[in-house]
C-alpha cells in the first residue's frame, strides 16, 4: 500500500472569515480571523490541505499570521518541495526551531494528502478508534454575567455536554459561581490562558468549591512550578495548554506533577505527528487528554475531529460545530454536532469536500511555490 510521494507544488492561501460572535479572551478580542491554508500537490495530482490557525497577534503563542506565512514560504515549504517521502512523519522539520503553528499547517496537509492517496480516512491512518467524538464549547469573556448565562443557556440547549469559560482576574469566581448555581450538574471548566501569577494561588484555590472538571493554564507557560504548587493544594485537576509545545515539555510537567489533564492542540504541538506522540505519552502516564481548538476553519476543524478519535481522548474536545463560529465554512459538509456529538467522517482523506470557490472569494493573499 505504501508508495512514495513527491510534492510538486505548494500553495498558501490567506483566508479571512467573520466570526458569528466576537470572542474575548484574557488577552484579546476578535470579530474576524485570518488563517492560512496550506495546499500540497503530489505528482499524481492528489491534493492535501492543512490549516495554519495562528492568532493574528502574538498573545496566545509567539507566532502571528505574518510570521507563519514567512516561515512557511521561506523555510517549511522549500524543505518539502521535490522531496520523496513515504510517511508524513518523514517531513517533520527538526531544523526549524519552534514555529509550531506554521509547522502544523504543513504537517496536516501532508497527513491529509497521505490519507487521500491511501483512500483511507484521516482518522484511520492516525490510529483513531472512535466513530464519534464528544464536543465541548469554549465561551469568551462576556460584558456581563447575564450575557454569559445567556450564552451558556444557548449552548446547553444546543446539546453541548461541556462548557469552558475563559476567566481573568476580574472575571473568575463570580461568573463561575453564577453558572454553577444555574447548572449544578454541568461539566464545567475554566481557562485562564496564563494570566495569573504565584500571588494568585490562594484566589484560584477558591475555585475548588465549584466542582470544575479542570482549571486550564492558570499561570504563564514556563511557570510549571506554580502549576505544580496549585495542583498540590487543590482537588480540581490542573490542565496544561500553552505550557506544552513539545513531548519533552510534557515529560518535564509529568515529572513535576504539574498537570492531571492535558489539552492537545494540533497547532501548538506543531502538527498531527507530534500531537499523536503527546497522546501516546499521556495515555501511558494515565493522563486524560482532550483536543483543544484555535477557532479553526473547516480544514483544521476536521483534522481536530480526526485526532480526537484516538483512544486517549476521553474528555470532550473543542470541536464544536462550524456554525458556532462561521456562518458558512470552507468545507462541505460543514462540521456538525448533534446533541454535542460529531461523527468521524468515513470518506478518504479529510472526509469533506474543500470549497475552492468559497476559499477564492475570501482569500486576501496567495503564493504558489514549485521546486
Ligand atoms: O486557550 O483554548 C484556548 C482560542 C484562541 C486562543 C486560545 C484558546 C482558544 C479557544 C478556542 O478556547 C476554542 C475552540 O476553538 O473551540
Ligand atoms: Mg486554553
Q: Which pairs count as long-range contacts for 336-339, CB under 8 Å and 24+ apart, including other chains?
A: 337/135, 337/158, 337/159, 337/160, 338/159, 339/159
Task: Look at residue 183 and tell me whether its pLDDT is greater than 90.
Answer: yes
| Topology alike, domains 5-119+355-369 and 125-353 | no
Over range 220-228, report the average pLDDT: 98
Nearest Cα residue to 341 out of 309, 294, 295: 309
* All residues at 6 or more sequence positions from 75 whose CB lies less than 8 Å from its CB, including other chains: 93, 96, 99
Give the DSSP letter string of 141-158: --SSHHHHHHHHHHHHHT
Is 112 near ligand 1, meaning CB less than 6 Å away?
Answer: no
pLDDT digit string, tens, across residues 75-127: 999 999 999 999 999 999 889 999 999 999 999 999 999 999 999 999 999 99
Contact 224, 252 (CB under 8 A): yes
Is 138 near ligand 1, meaning CB less than 6 Å away?
Answer: yes
Contact 246, 274 (CB under 8 A): yes
**Catalytic residue list:** 166, 265
pLDDT digit string, tens, across residues 235-272: 999 999 999 999 999 999 999 999 999 999 999 999 99
Output the nine-digit C-alpha cell for 138.
469554549
As a CATH number, domain 125-353 is: 3.20.20.120
Taking each helix axis from N to C terminus, what angle separates 272-285 and 100-118, rounded to the nearest 10 degrees?
90
Q: What is the model's pTM?
A: 0.96
How far apart, in whole angstroms, are the C-alpha atoms of residue 160 and residue 30? 23
How far apart, in whole angstroms, are the C-alpha atoms of residue 218 and residue 226? 9
The residues spanned by each domain of the chain are 5-119+355-369, 125-353
Task: Look at residue 2 and tell me whether its pLDDT is greater than 70.
Answer: no
Distance (angstroms) between ligand 2 centre and the Cα of 73 equals 28
Task: Look at residue 25 and tell me whether its pLDDT is greater than 80.
Answer: no
pLDDT digit string, tens, across residues 295-327: 999 999 999 999 999 999 999 999 999 999 999
Domain 5-119+355-369: CATH superfamily, name plus number: Enolase-like, N-terminal domain (3.30.390.10)
Distance (angstroms) between ligand 2 centre and the Cα of 127 equals 25
Is 317 near ligand 1, meaning CB less than 6 Å away?
Answer: no
Output the nine-digit C-alpha cell for 279.
497522546
Amino acid at each position: 500500500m505504501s508508495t512514495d510521494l513527491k510534492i510538486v507544488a505548494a500553495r498558501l492561501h490567506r483566508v479571512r472569515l467573520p466570526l458569528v460572535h466576537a470572542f474575548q479572551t484574557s488577552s484579546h478580542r476578535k470579530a474576524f480571523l485570518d488563517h492560512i491554508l496550506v495546499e500540497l500537490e503530489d505528482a499524481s495530482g492528489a491534493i492535501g490541505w492543512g490549516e495554519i490557525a495562528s492568532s493574528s497577534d502574538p498573545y496566545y503563542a509567539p507566532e502571528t499570521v505574518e510570521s507563519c506565512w514567512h516561515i512557511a514560504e521561506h523555510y517549511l515549504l522549500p524543505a518539502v518541495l521535490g522531496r520523496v517521502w513515504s510517511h508524513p512523519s518523514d517531513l517533520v522539520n527538526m531544523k526549524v526551531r519552534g514555529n509550531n503553528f506554521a509547522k502544523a499547517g504543513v504537517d496536516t496537509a501532508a497527513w491529509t494528502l497521505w490519507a487521500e492517496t491511501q483512500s483511507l480516512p484521516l482518522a484511520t491512518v492516525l490510529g483513531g478508534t472512535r466513530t464519534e467524538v464528544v464536543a465541548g464549547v469554549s465561551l469568551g469573556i462576556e460584558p456581563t454575567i447575564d450575557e454569559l448565562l445567556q450564552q451558556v443557556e444557548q449552548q446547553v440547549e444546543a446539546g453541548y455536554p461541556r462548557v469552558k469559560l475563559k476567566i481573568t482576574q476580574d472575571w473568575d469566581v463570580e461568573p463561575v459561581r453564577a453558572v454553577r448555581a444555574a447548572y449544578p450538574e454541568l461539566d464545567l471548566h475554566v481557562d485562564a490562558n496564563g494570566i495569573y501569577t504565584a500571588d494568585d494561588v490562594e484566589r484560584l484555590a477558591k475555585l475548588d468549591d465549584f466542582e470544575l472538571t479542570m482549571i486550564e493554564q492558570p499561570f504563564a507557560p514556563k511557570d510549571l512550578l506554580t502549576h505544580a504548587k496549585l495542583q498540590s493544594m487543590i482537588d480540581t485537576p490542573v490542565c496544561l495548554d500553552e505550557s506544552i509545545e513539545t513531548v519533552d515539555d510534557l515529560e518535564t510537567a509529568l515529572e513535576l506533577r504539574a498537570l492531571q489533564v492535558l489539552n492537545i492542540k494540533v497547532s501548538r504541538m506543531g502538527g498531527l505527528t507530534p500531537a499523536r506522540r503527546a497522546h501516546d505519552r499521556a495515555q501511558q502516564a494515565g493522563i486524560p487528554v482532550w483536543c483543544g481548538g484555535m477557532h479553526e476553519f473547516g480544514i483544521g476543524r476536521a483534522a481536530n475531529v480526526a485526532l480526537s478519535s484516538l483512544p486517549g481522548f476521553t474528555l470532550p474536545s473543542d470541536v464544536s460545530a462550524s456554525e458556532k463560529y462561521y456562518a458558512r465554512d470552507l468545507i462541505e459538509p460543514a462540521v456538525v454536532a448533534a446533541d454535542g456529538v460529531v461523527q468521524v467522517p468515513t470518506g478518504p482523506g479529510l472526509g469533506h469536500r474543500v470549497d475552492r470557490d468559497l476559499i477564492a472569494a475570501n482569500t486576501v493573499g496567495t503564493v504558489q511555490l514549485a521546486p
